[in-house]
Chain A
């Protein structure tokens, strides 16, 4: 059969890219309007600051350094978005990435600060903790028919309170923050691999960033190129059909959630084992990282490779928020923009259908009017 030449607009990947770019533009526009409403004088400078992020510095060493800082926080975000999109490909909405991220933090930091284990064991502990939490949701879904969204939400909060209690054991006397890795256990800091030097001595840049990118590629490979990935996706499409074909649908569900959880837990270790941040033991809200992972996953068109770029973008504007003029605006404006982008992403599916319908109609019209022209 001869393949007909299809227009670029028909291409699914192209449509996804177009939709994501549109979401970004609209999201930024909304942010800009909000800035204008607050104070029209500095709005231009503020939105420019958000988009420029580290490029606001004139010196290239400073630029590189803060570029590094953005990358340090991109790695965990990418892991969370991988966690969300992996589960979503299998038909599960992993809103629990936030909780899995929290237990990952708890495990990594406790292993690093309590028994003072080396970094690879801390990383492993974080992965296992996240995977265990994910598996709980998976088991509840497979055997007790509990909707994974609901169980994940409950587990998010349970894990937040548990981790707060656990890490209180390794916190500083006078502040609500955990000990710093540098002062307590240097062996738990992820190796820098010389990358820190590259980013003008930003000591937080290290293994995490290449590891996250490699993981993204592995996730893509697992989903697209392996039998396991195929089985998982089949289970997601229709678990009864999968069972009928001889797949173990329950095992697949649990495995999916465990992998997703492991990814999110690993993400947490990537951030906290770089020593970039300390955990605040009085935290009263689940960290936004996991939820931003949902944003990055959908903005990246639910593709692991797309997620690399979308996570970077989301982190880029989040960091950029710190550079707005604080006498007029607040840094949360970038949270507002990324929340708006997630909201807009929800419309992507509908827009794609509408666009394809429009293309169908256009093609039909062409066929009817100009026979012998294009097409047949």
Chain B
């Protein structure tokens, strides 16, 4: 039972962070399909930091540095989307797809090159971080508390406040709803969109490192992040682009995922004899069904996906 709670919370943290990232990007008017790729890059950054930091690093330093590396990688990688979508008015879905493929490919090439440089026989794309990972965990009577859970909570509060209570957030959302109107009152739409995409890069990168440290202590980068970026996208839409609802959606989806991992520990679920794939599939089915019923009055930002052109009326 505790295990279920633990997995639910950690998966929900991942989904929450990444979905909030997507939320910022979409509210500024840029669709971010590339979250999956951003997560891979963030995961790579964090994993490298964990690999190369000496084991004697104090826990707090470890946490800060790993978070820094992951967010930095995510931020830089999301620039690819920002430049293409904002300055070059590229098709955002196309760029996002390219980023997903590029993220996994680049991370695999890099890690494999690093591993083979260390020893010629090692052609795997795996990074291990068994000891470094311990810095993130606090054992509370059987429940493994992960500092990332707290971080996700902070991100939620931060997102809510900054989106609804600050000038920045309200301006950001204006750019996603009606950029021409926003521009006419002196808001720099391009800057706001850059801010939105880069924030999504930071949160996506962070989500990536949280994901690969959840439950396992090594990661094979060939697998990318196994569709979690897309799941986060589903969470965001399910949460109707609102931080609080996104949090609830993340909990629900995280619960489904966690069930897939630990269902064999429950007798009545085991008796049902459903394969783990069923539980993994459940979030996608739920969101598809919900989408079918709610999309008529969708709360999606009105101008998302449309490149902003100053000269256009």
* Residues 267 to 309 of chain A near chain B (Cβ within 8 Å): 284-286, 288, 291-292, 294-295, 298
Provided the pairs A144-B293, A165-B277, A285-B226 are in contact, do residues A151 and B288 lie with their beta carbons within 8 angstroms?
yes
The contact size tier of chain B is 35 or more
Please determine whether A144 and B291 come into contact, CB atoms closer than 8 angstroms. yes
Provide the B82-118 mask, 1 if CB < 8 A to any CB of A, else 0.
0010001111011101111110111011001100110
Provided the pairs A284-B223, A346-B95 are in contact, do residues A140 and B105 lie with their beta carbons within 8 angstroms?
no
* Residues 326 to 341 of chain A near chain B (Cβ within 8 Å): 326-330, 332-333, 335-336, 338-340
- Which chain A residue lies CB-closest to B286? A154
Determine the main DSSP class of A at the interface with B: helix
**Chain B residues in 8 Å Cβ range of A313:** none
Q: How far is the CB of A368 from chain B (nearest CB, A)?
A: 24
Please determine whether B105 and A336 come into contact, CB atoms closer than 8 angstroms. yes
- Which chain A residue lies CB-closest to B93? A93
Please determine whether B280 and A347 come into contact, CB atoms closer than 8 angstroms. no
**Chain A residues in 8 Å Cβ range of B234:** 150, 153-154
Please determine whether B112 and A332 come into contact, CB atoms closer than 8 angstroms. yes
Determine the main DSSP class of B at the interface with A: helix
Please determine whether B112 and A158 come into contact, CB atoms closer than 8 angstroms. no
Please determine whether A294 and B94 come into contact, CB atoms closer than 8 angstroms. yes
User: Would you call A342 an interface residue if the criterion is a C-beta within 8 Å of the partner chain's C-beta atoms?
Assistant: yes
- Which chain A residue lies CB-closest to B236? A150
**Chain B residues in 8 Å Cβ range of A150:** 233-234, 237, 291
Q: How far is the CB of B259 from chain A (nearest CB, A)?
A: 14
**Chain B residues in 8 Å Cβ range of A285:** 223-224, 226-227
Cross-chain contact of A288 among B101, B233, B291 (Cβ < 8 A):
B101
**Chain A residues in 8 Å Cβ range of B80:** 343
User: Would you call B298 an interface residue if the criterion is a C-beta within 8 Å of the partner chain's C-beta atoms?
Assistant: yes
Provided the pairs A38-B113, A153-B233 are in contact, do residues A340 and B102 lie with their beta carbons within 8 angstroms?
yes
Cross-chain contact of A330 among B84, B94, B125 (Cβ < 8 A):
B125
Interface residues of B (CB under 8 A from A): 31, 33, 80, 84, 88-91, 93-95, 97-102, 104-106, 108-109, 112-113, 116-117, 120, 123, 125, 222-224, 226-227, 230-231, 233-234, 237, 275, 277-278, 280-281, 284-285, 287-288, 291-293, 295-296, 298, 300
**Which 4 A-B pairs give the minimum distances between C-beta atoms?**
A346-B90, A339-B102, A335-B105, A339-B101
Interface residues of A (CB under 8 A from B): 34, 38-39, 93, 95, 140, 144-147, 149-151, 153-158, 161-162, 164-165, 168, 284-286, 288, 291-292, 294-295, 298, 326-330, 332-333, 335-336, 338-340, 342-343, 345-347, 349-350
